[in-house]
Amino acid sequence: MLVIFGASGDLTARKLMPSLFNLYLAAQLPENFVVLGVSRSNLTDEAFRDRVVYESDYLKEKTKDLKASKVKSFANMLYYEDLGDSYDTDYSGLRKRVETLKEEYNTSGNIIYYLSTPPTLYETISQNLSNAGMNTQNNGWKRLIVEKPFGYSLETAQELNKGLHKYFKEHQIYRIDHYLGKETVQNLLVTRFSNSIFEPLWNRNYIQHVEITNAESVGVEKRGGYYDKSGALRDMFQNHLLQIVSLVVMEPPIGADAEEIRNEKVKALKSLRIMTDEKELFENTIRAQYVSSNVGGNKVKGYREEDGVDPNSTTETYAAVKFYVDNWRWHGVPFYVRTAKRMPTKVTEIVIHFKKPHHQIFKGSEMQEMDNKLIIRIQPDEGILIKFGVKVPGQGFKVERANLDFYYANLAETYVMEAYERLLLDAMQGDATLYARADEVEAAWEFVDPILNYWKSGEDVRMYGYAAGAWGPQNADNLIDDDGYWRNPTENLADDPGYCVIC
Ligand code: BG6
């Protein structure tokens, strides 16, 4: 049984239901399966089904060519329980409902509680589940899935973990990070550890620097209220991007077991050099906000004019950080990681820049300026690209750069699951590999906390501006100066910087 707290909210309709529906169509759901939506809205089972299935904009496309009976049998698996005014209440009514459904669907007592509520309610809900005896595992397993943000700082993350651990054991807690559900993020592990051609080069002897870009073309949309209290570093960097960093940095695990992989990720996160000195923070971190501009002929609001945003806000919509990893493998290799809203395009990619050949034979060839790169595209145009030198036909040894590429799109026969689909299925099967463990989250906060503190009250801290639709503030280029320039990728993996579409 899947019990969703916060079931009348946006995430349930937007992400959870479409994922469950896909799993249903692919016959991946357990045979005896039922969903109970729980929240404070006064809804009947029927009204809930209308909201999240029959009248949902997020299922329209998926259901339009299906037989009504097919959709109905999905909707009939969904039930709803109104908790009344508050999540902090006696759950004995809820327990009764769960037990009735358990009998009816013969679900054998295995339950996932999905907390799709503000994090301030996580401990309250866990406590009330515990008071009602709903967290005991003597009659089927109980698992808890929680959404980010996991804390607002190291201290609050530790409090949250402690709060949850009072009622659930760590192995019962699944902290969702939807980037880990992306095929291309998982493929990082496979690229690194199922090939013998990359790993020998994956270290300070061959890698010059690592660049990770996460760009979104949208602004804060309707989430100004949430975002203004969060900012790019908390919203994307502390979780999704540091998860990616940990997969790039980690040592090979002994095996593919969840704990083995997560142990290595924690070790990787703990090896990031924490910056505490103000000068170091000034030189290696940049924050900025988008300002109003014209994009594609339309006037786009600046961040401070967005709904829900304080007109004097100092919350960053752009964050770039240069850092080092203090371990044997990565000593002296700079990492450049940036994330932002209102960039020219939506793209996430990792670029591994290799060192130039130690001895230059083909002098005068442009190759001297062009490093070998391995580009791992998380989204869109998912794939992998290697840039390497080839001889230009003709006299002499003129070298040009060529592409060796792989695109996921070429695997047309393979159905790529949505992140939430994969993650929900994993949680049902008890596989926590793609979920963040408490110590991982805390290690990430340990690195991020001093940057946030510096940005909040550092002496020379600056907030830069960038025109909406541009690649961030100009001085972000200075950050990477020693190692060249940002790749500024486009929608297509193989396009080189400088490529642009005028209209
Ligand atoms: C979320 C952030 O976690 O990730 C959003 O809160 C962001 O601000 C989103 O837009 C990006 O996810 P994706 O999968 O579209 O890259």
Closest residue by Cα to atom 13, ligand 1, is 179
What's the pLDDT band for 382 if we cut at 50, 70, 90?
Answer: confident
Tell me, in angstroms, the distance from the centre of ligand 1 to residue 223's CA.
11
- Give this prediction's pTM: 0.93
| Per-residue model confidence (pLDDT) at position 101 | 96
Q: Of these residues, 240, 331, 353, 359, which one is catalytic?
A: 240
Task: Give the helix/strand (H/E) hosting 484.
Answer: none
- Give 317 Cα–ligand 1 centroid separation in angstroms: 13
Q: What is the mean pLDDT of the chain?
A: 92
Angle between helices 419-428 and 17-25 in degrees, nearest 10:
70
Q: Ligand 1, residues 10, 11, 236, 317: which to mutate, most atoms within 8 A of Cβ?
A: 236
* pLDDT score recorded for residue 239: 96
CATH classification for the domain delimited by 180-474, as one of 2.30.110.10, 3.40.50.1400, 3.30.70.920, 3.30.360.10 = 3.30.360.10
| The two domains 2-147 and 180-474 share their CATH topology (first three levels equal) | no
So where are the chain's domains? 2-147, 180-474
Q: What stretches of 109-206 adopt beta strand conformation (E)? A: 111-115, 142-146, 173-176
Binding residue positions = 40, 148, 178, 182, 216, 235, 341, 346
Mutate which of 10, 226, 235 to test ligand 1's pocket (most atoms within 8 Å of Cβ)? Answer: 235
Atom 14 in ligand 1: residue holding the nearest Cα: 179
Place of tokens 């400088």: 498
pLDDT at 502 > cutoff 70: no
pLDDT of the residue at 366? 58
pLDDT of residue 501: 59
For residue range 133-187, what is the model confidence (pLDDT) as tens digits? Answer: 999 988 899 999 999 999 999 999 999 999 999 999 999 999 999 999 988 899 9
Residue 186 to residue 188: CA distance in whole angstroms: 5
State which of 19, 221, 240, 242 you would mutate to test the pocket of ligand 1, scoring each by most atoms of that ligand within 8 A of its C-beta.
Answer: 240
Q: Is 235 in the pocket of ligand 1 (CB under 6 A)?
A: yes
**Which has the minimum average pLDDT: 78-87, 214-223, 358-367, 385-394?**
358-367
Atom of ligand 1 nearest to the CA of 223: 8
Q: Which atom of ligand 1 is nearest to the CA of 179?
A: 14
Superfamily of domain 2-147: NAD(P)-binding Rossmann-like Domain (3.40.50.720)
Give the annotated binding-site residues for NADP(+): 40, 148
Return the SS3 of 369: helix
For residue 109, the CA-to-ligand 1 centroid distance in Å is 34
pLDDT score recorded for residue 500: 59
Q: What percent of the chain has pLDDT over 90?
A: 79
Q: Are strands 383-391 and 142-146 parallel, antiparallel or unpaired?
A: unpaired
Distances (CA, A) of 228 to 6, 48, 148, 225, 257: 22, 31, 16, 6, 38
For residue 369, what pLDDT band results from cuts at 50, 70 and 90?
Answer: low
Atom of ligand 1 nearest to the CA of 419: 14
Residue 71's contacts (CB-CB under 8 Å, 6 or more residues apart) are: 53, 54, 63
Task: Give the model confidence (pLDDT) of 98-123 as tens digits.
Answer: 999 999 999 989 999 999 999 999 99
User: Does position 499 have pLDDT exceeding 70, yes or no?
Assistant: no
**Cα separation of 414 and 391, whole Å?**
36
CA of 224 to the centre of ligand 1 (A): 14
The whole-angstrom separation of Cα 5 and Cα 40 is 9
Q: Is 165 a residue of the active site?
A: no
* Residue 368 predicted with pLDDT over 60: no
